[in-house]
Structure 1
């Protein structure tokens, strides 16, 4: 298996790798209206930590999607162990395997930045109901960066682009979202550091090189603390 940041998260089965973790997710969702009739799509569900929380907290219909088969299998095991009726689906954000107007909410936690946003954002709009809402917690470029800095960030994280707030807004606007609210998340370097002792599902065999990836992730979060920010985007029509 290739030694990449995303494969590292998959092998360690990190449950809350996105900035702010589950606590931030709880705060964001507490502002929304959800009940048993609500349909939620958790894009890039990972090991299913957020999907499980939503299912238990709101008793609504949750679909958990991921393109990483290791992550998806770990999510299935989580749901089974918790006796949760959560639908799992293999697929990508750029080509969602769902019909138009299916979901009330789509949640993307540090996922869309790893996709081609020009393709994933329109897909979110397509599968959302007319009054649906996209909630995205995403990496955001705070300042201009040199070509060298940009290359190091893109290469390490495997992201296709590093957008600033206006560029995120533009992509969501082009996708058909008219109302875009943005809240910046104050991050500290230690928040970026993934604590695998918190919520994890370790694979049986993990090459030592993947431990070094965690170390570099923490190093980059400190080195680029003034460049790498995070925004909560609430997008609707």
Structure 2
């Protein structure tokens, strides 16, 4: 059985792996997977960094965010995506994260961009300190997988969005519900993940929460490519490289997959 990780355990996880993440994911501090324009490009570091940046670009192109938007970034990490959104569109971005270290880092980022409308708050995504209908958009990348009560997050997103507001996010899903022991150890436990649900179950949960699913995208091949590159980048760190190899294999097995959803509040 998968362990149910608490908010405190998730915060501790991110606080303690912060330095490790900055190197294996992206030196600029970004912490999300990558969208490759060509899945056949060589497994090289620069291709991974370009793919990471391209994922921001893809999501922004789907979002409809503009200078009049007020965006909530759930799981803002070190604030780099919030800065990107505000800089590209001149929108206002409010970032929340369970990790105080992330929030502190994001606030330091914001101090470099005083012309942008940025703020960051430490909070749990299951109980957010904002009023109903405050935001035109809610954005999240690689965060909801850490939250056991995922349905509560969807309900909070619906509450906080204005009528016809846009909720766009990516998350990990599973194509079947019986992970191997390797996947339990190297994916669930390593990432502090309690459970995955199927893409169809996710779409159903979104509809129950009051959203219309406008678009979804199967990104599992991009995720596999990402971890294939990571495993080669860190061949000198046997434990980390093995973890990335096992994650890539879990994608091949259908035990995990990466999915994107674009939704509108009804």
Aligned to 1:27: 58
Call closer, same or farther: CA 1:149–1:121 in 2, change over 3 Å.
Answer: farther
Whether the 8 Å contact between 1:44 and 1:111 is mirrored in structure 2 is yes
- Give how far 1:167 is off: 1.6
- Give how far 1:13 is off: 5.8
- Deviation readout 1:89-139 (Å, 9 max, x if unpaired): 110110011100011111110111111212111001100111101101111
Provide the rounded CA distance (Å) in 1 between the counterparts of 2:21 and 2:251.
25
Provide the rounded CA distance (Å) in 2 between the counterparts of 1:107 and 1:142.
24
- Give how far 1:5 is off: 5.5
Report the TM-score when normalising by structure 1.
0.83
- Give how far 1:165 is off: 0.3
Indicate whether 1:16 and 2:48 are aligned: no
Whether the 8 Å contact between 1:192 and 1:218 is mirrored in structure 2 is yes
Aligned to 1:98: 130
Aligned to 2:260: 232
Between the two structures, name the one with larger relative contact order (CA 8 Å, sep ≥ 6): 1
Call closer, same or farther: CA 1:193–1:49 in 2, change over 3 Å.
Answer: farther
Provide the rounded CA distance (Å) in 2 between the counterparts of 1:86 and 1:108.
16
- Give how far 1:212 is off: 7.4
Q: Secondary structure at the match of 2:103?
A: helix
Greater displacement, 30-39 / 215-224: 215-224
Aligned to 2:170: 137
Q: In the TM superposition, what are the counterparts of 1:148-163 in structure 2 within 5 Å?
A: 148=181, 151-152=184-185, 153-163=187-197
Call closer, same or farther: CA 1:49–1:172 in 2, change over 3 Å.
Answer: same
Please identify which structure carries the higher helix content: 2
Aligned to 2:246: 220
Provide the rounded CA distance (Å) in 1 between the counterparts of 2:156 and 2:121.
15
- Give how far 1:24 is off: 0.8
Aligned to 1:122: 155
Report the TM-score when normalising by structure 2.
0.74
Aligned to 2:4: none
| Number of residue pairs matched by the alignment | 222
Aligned to 1:208: none
- Give how far 1:22 is off: 2.8
Provide the rounded CA distance (Å) in 2 between the counterparts of 1:51 and 1:167.
29
Call closer, same or farther: CA 1:193–1:77 in 2, change over 3 Å.
Answer: farther
Structure 2: stretches of 5+ with no match in the other structure: 1-7, 23-28, 35-51, 231-236
Indicate whether 1:57 and 2:88 are aligned: yes
Q: Secondary structure at the match of 1:86?
A: strand
Call closer, same or farther: CA 1:224–1:128 in 2, change over 3 Å.
Answer: same
| Aligned counterpart for 1:183 among listed residues 210, 217, 225 | 217
Q: Secondary structure at the match of 1:36?
A: coil
- Give how far 1:188 is off: 4.8
Aligned to 1:6: 14
Whether the 8 Å contact between 2:76 and 2:97 is mirrored in structure 1 is yes
